[in-house]
């Protein structure tokens, strides 16, 4: 059974801009799927649709067989809990410690007031620490987020996603602002998490070379439409 399924998904923005047009897509547990396309093709729109950061205009999206399109309240929260998100600009709380940032991955497990006062259980701190070790940042637990390099900050955001114990990780242009060496480190971490933990990874990239190197399956989109979906070896004209 697919862990992510799009059925005839279209998204038109309020100003009339076409985001996605009739997308059908099935992603199975444990896959590492790279979405490529030129700027403006609809990659972020697709990604933001998966965990419903915005509503789609028509069609349906199912996560583990449950429609996130129709889910409300508690069920929506529950589905989202299984989906970790990584952004191009890291989205960290700059002046907070690395540990504190990683613990925000537990949002949804805690009442808001406990989060504000930082009342985390020892088990959660342990789990945050383990996530940081997985991205080689076990020695940066108490550093302030904005003291770290860009690549390190992105790895903190990977640890934050891991702390959430997700079945799926969505990464929207996670390396777009990083240099080539740092890019490799972040991509290696994502690949390792996919292989070792079996977490399904869906990642947007605009570099076709990087997509070919890391993806086992490539989805190409152009002007909101899916124009390619297949194994890397056949992905020569995916954009
Ligand atoms: P990307 O190409 O990486 O998605 P953009 O610069 O296109 O980055 O978009 C940055 C932000 O601006 C996003 O939050 C996106 O939703 C928003 N955005 C993009 N295009 C438009 C638009 N035509 N009108 C309003 N907001 C837009
Ligand atoms: P990509 O991530 O591939 O660069 P996007 O998904 O950001 O592409 O954009 C797809 C299309 O939707 C573009 O034409 C963009 O201008 C438009 N778009 C994206 N976000 C918004 C928004 N918030 N409001 C209006 N139009 C948007």
Q: Which ligand is nearest to the CA of 14?
A: 2
For 34, residues 6+ apart whose C-beta sits below 8 A from its C-beta are: 203, 204, 205, 211, 214, 215, 217, 218, 219
- Pocket perturbation via mutation, ligand 1, pick of 14, 35, 44 by most ligand atoms within 8 A of CB: 44
CB of 161 closer than 8 Å to CB of 105: yes
163 CA from centroid of ligand 2 (Å): 30
CB of 150 closer than 8 Å to CB of 92: no
Whether pLDDT at 65 is above 80: yes
Band (pLDDT 50/70/90 cuts) for residue 121 is confident
pLDDT, tens only, 78-89:
999 999 999 999
Number of CB atoms found within 10 A of residue 123's CB: 8
Report pLDDT for 175. 96
Number of CB atoms found within 10 A of residue 218's CB: 24
Q: Which ligand is nearest to the CA of 15?
A: 2
Report pLDDT for 154. 96
Looking at every residue in the chain, the average pLDDT score rounds to: 92
Q: Supply the pTM of this predicted model.
A: 0.88
Of 237, 222, 225, 200, residue with least CA distance to 34 = 200
CB of 46 closer than 8 Å to CB of 225: no
Band (pLDDT 50/70/90 cuts) for residue 211 is very high
40 CA from centroid of ligand 1 (Å): 8
CB of 137 closer than 8 Å to CB of 155: yes
Band (pLDDT 50/70/90 cuts) for residue 16 is very high
Report pLDDT for 111. 58
DSSP SS3 for 111: coil
For residues 100 and 45, give the distance between their C-alpha atoms in angstroms, rounded to a whole number: 29
Band (pLDDT 50/70/90 cuts) for residue 238 is low
Whether pLDDT at 120 is above 60: yes
What is the number of the ligand 1 atom nearest to the C-alpha of 40?
Answer: 2
207 CA from centroid of ligand 2 (Å): 18
For residues 48 and 204, give the distance between their C-alpha atoms in angstroms, rounded to a whole number: 11
19 CA from centroid of ligand 2 (Å): 6
Residue 173, ligand 1, Cβ within 6 A:
yes
């Amino acid at each position: 059974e697919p862990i992510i399924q799009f059925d005839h998904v279209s998204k038109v923005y309020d100003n009339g801009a076409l985001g996605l047009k009739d997308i059908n897509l099935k992603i199975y547990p444990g896959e590492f799927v790279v979405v490529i396309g030129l700027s403006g093709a609809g990659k972020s729109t697709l990604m933001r649709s998966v965990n419903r950061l915005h509503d789609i205009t028509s069609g349906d999206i199912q996560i583990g067989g449950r429609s996130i399109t129709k889910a409300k309240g508690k069920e929506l929260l529950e589905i989202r809990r299984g989906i970790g998100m990584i952004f191009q600009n890291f989205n960290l709380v700059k002046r907070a410690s690395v540990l504190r940032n990683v613990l925000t991955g537990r949002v949804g497990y805690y009442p808001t007031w406990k989060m504000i006062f930082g009342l985390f259980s020892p088990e959660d701190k342990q789990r945050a620490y383990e996530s940081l070790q997985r991205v080689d940042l076990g020695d940066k637990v108490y550093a302030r987020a904005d003291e770290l390099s860009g690549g390190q900050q992105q790895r903190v955001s990977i640890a934050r996603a891991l702390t959430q114990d997700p079945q799926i990780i969505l990464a929207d242009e996670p390396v777009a602002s990083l240099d080539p060496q740092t890019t490799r480190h972040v991509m290696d971490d994502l690949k390792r998490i996919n292989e070792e933990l079996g977490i399904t990874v869906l990642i947007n990239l605009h570099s076709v070379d990087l997509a070919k190197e890391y993806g086992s399956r490539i989805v190409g989109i152009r002007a909101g439409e899916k124009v390619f979906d297949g194994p890397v070896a056949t992905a020569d004209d995916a954009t």
